Amino acid sequence: MATSANPTRDDFAAMLNEQLGGVADDGFEGRVVKGTITAIENDKAVIDVGLKSEGRVPLREFARGEDGHGLKVGDEVEVYVDRVENADGEAMLSRDRARREAAWDKLENEFGEGKRVEGVIFGRVKGGFTVDLDGAVAFLPGSQVDIRPVRDVTPLMDVPQPFQILKMDRRRGNIVVSRRAVLEETRAEQRSELIDKLSEGQVIDGVVKNITDYGAFVDLGGIDGLLHVTDMSYKRVNHPNEVIAIGDTVTVQIIRINQDTQRISLGMKQLESDPWEGAAVKYPVGAKLTGTVTNITEYGAFVELEPGIEGLVHVSEMSWTKKNVHPGKIVSTSQEVEVMVLEVDSDKRRISLGLKQAQQNPWEGFAERHPVGSTVEGEVKNATEFGLFIGLDGDVDGMVHMSDIAWGISGEDALALHRKGEMVQAVVLDVDVDKERISLGMKQLERGAPAAGGTPTGGSSLRRGETVTVTVLEVRDGGLEVQAGDDGATGFIKRSDLGRDRDEQRPDRFQVGQKLDAMVTGFDRSKKPNFSVKARQLAEEKEAVEQYGSSDSGASLGDILGEALKGR
């Protein structure tokens, strides 16, 4: 039986509980409490936390880097009570667990307030890295290390730096942090501060940081601006690396600042004088100039007249004779060419140029060298259903219509007489410079053919108003192809000229070889005679009236014609 002189073990426990405020030993487990170091034995510190027995904590749990633990007897420290008593009757204490619990309490408060926390990257794990947040271990995903992918993280390890907590679960012991979020936030703050110091129109120096196909990014001292390729120079720039290189220090002007997106547009050419000022005066319409071909497209070629000023030669203005040909087959890049100014639009910065206008019109040149009636020679380039195309000097073509190939035969038969590649001679019948057409005749070179001036060259002489006997060579729906005499010029009698009456105007009344009288009414462009039976009839009627009297004498028109015929 216990007495006050001889207390039992339970009496000591009750007194201890009373000393600790009536808290049972079990109430200590899982809590962080304060204790006093009573001794330091070898590599452990003996700590009294007011339990039945003291606990031992390894000194390494108190160590901080190279400074050691720095503990001495009597120091007060915080430890975590894992168990009140182990098998040896000692309290199981942990400084690391105490620090971790304290860290979690602090991190939860900072996470709730959205504050940054400081930590150290100390290890690698699958998908990222481990971070020590003053005792609590967090996970740093690989994508959250930096704004841009980082190949080597070694320089970032074991260095205290700020992190942003993205997610934390104390029950599961999970914390996810981001270094990238801190960098982006810091960068945004820096950009805002820098942009506030910049203004549109300001001239500033920067360093070329990166080059793309469309421009270059220039570092303006913590913030990047885009220098577009079109703003690098007034002259044509095919690629930015023709003008600048990474690492170059360049002087640029701030063209535009977008406060919403915080994007800055830069320009270099704005610091140069504009070559387009006074361009209309320097390049008047009709002026002939020399330039260099800088670019070739399907629709034309660009010619540089001076640095910063280019004009377009449209494909339709490149050659007098080469139609529907790619410009690259007429000119080449870097070639020096002579052009003529066709139009200037200073507002739109456009100049229309002509390449062919700076050269002589080949049809004008041909007309000067070969007047109508002259004889030319050329190669048959092509045969069509209506005639022959002859290649002539000056890189132009002339056409011989099928009716002007030969006398005495049909046009189809005449076409069959010649083949592609054959050299032939012809007479120039007409040159139309505006329509770019040259009409030629081959049969006009034959004996007996009418000359280009209108006077027949054969043994017989045909004159307008003369009545001759002709022989039918061909019967057509539109009339008769006839020949004057036996070996004279061939001509045509239209259907309406076969007689005065409608019944007489049927070509099927006539046969090949049949002879009839007709009047020469004129000559066509190739000096080929036109005949008319109707004109002959009217002329004879008029002559009879004049010879035998008018119808006022009482004689009928039939009587007058009868008398005229008897006289003949």
Q: What is the pLDDT of residues 136-167, one digit of tens each?
A: 889 999 999 998 888 888 889 999 999 999 99
Predicted confidence at residue 348, as pLDDT, reads: 86
Query: What is the CATH number assigned to the segment(s) 283-354?
Result: 2.40.50.140
Q: Give the pLDDT of residue 11.
A: 60
Which pLDDT tens digit goes with each residue over 219-230?
Answer: 887 788 899 998
Give the rounded percent of residues in the chain with a pLDDT score beyond 70: 81
Q: Where in the chain is the domain with CATH 2.40.50.140?
A: 27-99, 114-184, 198-271, 283-354, 362-445, 467-547
Query: Tokens 């800055």 label which residue?
Result: 264
| Closest to 164 measured CA to CA, from 122, 125, 113, 123 | 113
114-184 CATH choice from 2.30.30.110, 3.30.420.40, 2.40.50.140, 2.60.260.20: 2.40.50.140
pLDDT given at position 1: 47
Instruction: Output the pLDDT for position 139.
Output: 94
Task: Give the pairing of strands 490-494 and 529-532.
Answer: parallel
What is the average per-residue pLDDT within 369-392?
90
Return the number of other C-beta atoms located less than 10 Å from residue 422's C-beta: 13
**Looking at the whole model, is its pTM more than 0.75?**
no
Give the closest residue to 99 by CA, choosing from 128, 67, 136: 136
153, 122 contact by CB (below 8 A): no
Helices (H), 76-131: 95-113
Inform me whether the pLDDT recorded for 331 exceeds 80: yes
Average pLDDT of the residues in 76-88: 67
Q: What is the DSSP string of 117-159?
A: EEEEEEEEETTEEEEEETTEEEEEEGGGS-SS--S--GGGTT-
Average pLDDT, the chain: 80
Instruction: Give the span between the Cα atoms of 484 and 519, in whole angstroms.
Output: 10
* CATH 3.30.360.10 fits domain 198-271: no
According to CATH, the topology of domain 467-547 is OB fold (Dihydrolipoamide Acetyltransferase, E2P) (2.40.50)
pLDDT of residue 385: 86
CA distances from 441 to 160, 409, 438 (A): 100, 15, 10
With a cut of 50, say whether residue 24 has pLDDT above it: no
pLDDT at 444 over 50: yes
Question: What dotted CATH number matches 27-99?
Answer: 2.40.50.140
* Residue 555 or 365, more confident: 365
If you average pLDDT over residues 423-450, what whole number do you get? 83
Backbone angles phi, psi at 184, to 5 degrees: -65, -40
Q: How confident is the model at residue 41 (pLDDT cuts 50, 70, 90)?
A: confident
